[in-house]
């Protein structure tokens, strides 16, 4: 038996009524699932989207520029580790938190 479905604002609407009998069978047999997917990221977009969202904040972007300026010899003030390590630490913690929350 063929069941007709139509879409209305993203919802799949059946033209048939669904009836569930006491023995556990239902009619129509093939009915859309109620599964919801609320993930923000997938494997390919996790790192770029998190980095983009973090560098929208002024202080993270400022710290990135200061870290990058340490690669220019006349602007170098101290050890590279003291500029890059805190930025990498904050970004890694944020990346792991977002990945844990999403997956």
Q: What's the number of domains the chain is made of?
A: 1
| 1 within a domain of the structure (yes/no) | no
Encode burial over 56-86: b for 16+ CB neighbours within 10 A, e otherwise.
eeeebeebbeebeebeeeeeeeeeeeebbee
> CA distances (Å), 84 to each of 61, 64, 87, in order?
13, 8, 5
| 19 within a domain of the structure (yes/no) | no
Global pTM value:
0.59
| 28 within a domain of the structure (yes/no) | no
> CA distances (Å), 55 to each of 14, 40, 47, 61, in order?
45, 18, 12, 5
| 88 within a domain of the structure (yes/no) | yes
| 58 within a domain of the structure (yes/no) | yes
- Answer for the pair 47, 95: CB distance below 8 angstroms, yes or no: yes
| 96 within a domain of the structure (yes/no) | yes
**8-state DSSP, 58:** H
pLDDT tens, the chain, 103 aa long: 444 455 555 555 556 666 666 676 666 556 667 777 777 888 888 899 989 999 998 988 998 998 999 888 888 888 888 888 888 999 999 999 988 888 7
Alpha-carbon distance of 21 to 32, in angstroms, equals 18
Domain limits for position 57: 46-102
| 13 within a domain of the structure (yes/no) | no
Give the pLDDT score at 38.
Answer: 77
Give the pLDDT score at 44.
Answer: 87
| In the block, residue with structure tokens 């390590």 | 85
| 20 within a domain of the structure (yes/no) | no
First vs last Cα of the chain: how many Å apart?
A: 38
């Amino acid at each position: 038996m063929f069941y007709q479905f139509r879409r209305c604002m993203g919802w799949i609407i059946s033209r048939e009524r669904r009836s569930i009998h006491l023995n556990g069978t239902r009619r129509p047999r093939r009915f859309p699932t109620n599964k919801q997917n609320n993930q923000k990221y997938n494997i390919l977009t996790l790192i770029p989207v998190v980095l983009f969202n973090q560098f929208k904040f002024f202080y993270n972007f400022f710290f990135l520029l200061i870290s990058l300026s340490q690669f220019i010899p006349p602007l170098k003030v101290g050890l590279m580790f003291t500029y890059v390590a805190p930025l990498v630490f904050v970004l890694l913690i944020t990346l792991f938190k977002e990945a844990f929350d999403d997956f």
